[in-house]
Amino acid sequence: MRIVSVVGTRPQLVKAAALLPALRSRHEDLFVDTGQHWDEQLAGVFFRELGLPRPDRSLGVGGSSHAVQTAAMLAGLEPVLIAERPDAVLVYGDTNSTLAGALAAVKLGIPIAHVEAGLRSFDRKMPEEINRLVADRLSRWLFAPTPTAVANLAAEGLGDGVQLVGDLMQDLASRVSRDVRDSAVLAEIENALDWDGPSLAPGRFLFATVHRAENREPAALHAWAALLSAASRKDRPVVLALHPGTRKALEKQGAQLDPSVHVVDPLGYRTSLTLQLHAAAVLTDSGGVQRESAWLGTPCLVLRGTTEWVEAVAESGGRMVIVGLDTAKALRELARLAPADGAPDDAVRRATGLRLPESGAAERIAGALSEIPA
């Protein structure tokens, strides 16, 4: 089958890195990057680190408002699809690139495959929720990562073409996990980051990421800045990997972070996974980081009011908790999940015992694409 795969953001590059080897072993694939995460800092490092082939087509759309960005992607994708006439267009996740790929394909009568179908936050204020809903309604193949995602689709009357395949990101995390177990890598990370805080030792730091649009709103931004500041200590700093857009919003609002919260640029995949594994705990609004911390066994506080990854919370044995932006709740959970006197030993045991299996999602998806659902 001839397939056009559409990506545009860092999480989509991770998923593509997991899927492309299996996809290209069975199908002819044209890899298109919209450029939604357009700079070297956000995307370029992922191509190098994950061994991804350079895109066959790069649209170079870049950042703008949702409408302008999506429109530019549609204008860029349409001539590619007309010229290539693929048998299917494959989209990942819930971004503007996902929406544009699905809309461009359906207007041309090309079947759509949606990886990570069925995820729901049930919060339509989130742009990602709208993108998911539209992509799922338009898709012929709906590749669901979890049983809850399958149930969500069924509740919406979507059953044809739905397949429970597992999580692509687990496949890639499994392949990389053996490279991140040794805590000696932390010293290399310190050098790469030009780190000026206390030594990054297992269980003696917290790792955080913030990038969601709702967490760039002024009230939310001040709330999470206060939460991270309260969670940090001089002897247990927070490593905060911050999206450029979130950093600009932080600076514009003049929100203050405690000196023990160390802001760093977006990190490469292995570096992020290493810091998650060896941290005392993870604090994040990222769906990808939530799942990675769950697979690694690291305590995780979700800095949102809801999550699409309900299994990650339900199956964590209490080690993943939705705290929103409630500082008091976050501090209580940190004291329970990552006490200062126990977190270092916990981190060492976690890394030593890490054995992460693949989910098999890549092979299931590549195999399913051999036949178009009725």
C-alpha separations of 196 from 98, 192, 262, 272 in Å: 39, 11, 9, 18
Q: Which of 27, 37, 114, 211 is catalytic?
A: 211
The Cα 147–Cα 311 span in angstroms is 8
List alpha helices for the chain, DSSP H: 10-26, 45-50, 66-84, 96-107, 127-138, 147-155, 168-177, 185-193, 218-231, 244-253, 269-278, 287-296, 310-314, 327-337, 343-352, 361-368
SS3 content of the chain, % helix, strand, coil (to 5): 50, 15, 35
Strand (E) or helix (H) holding 29:
strand 28-33
C-alpha separations of 19 from 9, 22, 58 in Å: 15, 6, 19
Neighbouring C-beta atoms of residue 189, cutoff 10 Å: 19
Which of helix, strand or coil describes residue 207?
strand
**What phi-psi label fits residue 318: left (phi over 0), alpha (psi between -120 and 50 degrees) or beta?**
left
Q: Would residue 278 show up in a list of annotated catalytic residues for this protein?
A: no
The Cα 154–Cα 303 span in angstroms is 28
* Longest distance between any two alpha carbons in the chain, whole Å: 62
Do residues 323 and 330 make contact, with C-beta atoms less than 8 angstroms apart? yes
Structure tokens at 326: 């409630």
Task: Give burial (CB, 10 Å; 0-12/13-18/19+) of 276.
Answer: buried
Active site residues: 211
